[in-house]
Structure 1
Amino acid sequence: MPNLYIRKSKIYIFLVRKNIGEYGIYGRNLFRGEDNKENYKKMIELRAGLTSAKAAICIYGSSSVVKALAEFELAGSEIKTPAQERAFMAVLTAMRADVGLSPEGEALTAILLGGAPATKE
C-alpha cells in the first residue's frame, strides 16, 4: 500500500515538525510576551494542525505509534523533562519502525533535541 506509506510519512513528519518547531522546544517563546490577536491566531492554527495530525495517526498509525503517542500525551505532551523526552523519542522510534526505518535513538535525540538532555524529572 504505497499511498498509505506516503500518508503515514507525511503525518509523522508534520507531527514531529510541529512538536519540535514552532509549537515545541524551539518555539517555546514564540507566543510569550505581548498578548495580541496575531499570536492567538497562530497558536490556534498550530493547535489545529497538531490535532489534525494526531487524529490521522489514530486512524492510519500502527498500534505501536498510537500507544507511544498516548504515552507522550499522558506525560504532558511537552519536551521539558527527561521522562517527556523519552516519551517523545519513543513516538519517533515507533514512527520510524512503522515506515520501515531503523530506530537510531541516540543519534535522533542529538539531532532533534540538541544532545543536551532535559534537566528536571
Structure 2
Amino acid sequence: MPPGRPRKHDRERHAELQELVCWFERHAEFSNPRSLLSASARRGFPLPKNGVYEFFRRERLLDWQTTALMADALGQEAGAVQELWQRAKQSMRTKQPPWQAGAASWDDLPMPEGGCGNC
C-alpha cells in the first residue's frame, strides 16, 4: 500500500500531458514534484501544491500562468515550455466530448402537441 492518505477516487490520467510532464521531469533536480515546489519556494513563487502533484500524475493541465511559474522556478525560460503547453491544451480540448447535439434552429424542434397551434 502506498504511503499517505488513500485517494478517494482515481482520476483519469491524460496521455496528452506526457510530453509536457516529461519536460518538467527532465529539468527538475530529482524528477519529483517536491523538488519543484521547494525550488519555487526558494524563488518566492507561490505554486498550488495539490495542482502540481496532480499535474505530475498527469491528471490535470495547469493554467499557463502556473506552468510559466513552474518553468521560472526551475531557472528555465517560460517560452521554452509554451509550445508544449499549447499542444497539451489543444489535445486536451479535442479529447473533450462535444456539446450534446441539440436543435440547430427552430425548424429542427418538433411541433407541440395539443391545442397550442398559435402560441
User: TM-score, normalising length from structure 2?
Assistant: 0.33
Which structure is higher in helix share?
1
Q: Which has the larger radius of gyration?
A: 2
User: TM-score, normalising length from structure 1?
Assistant: 0.33
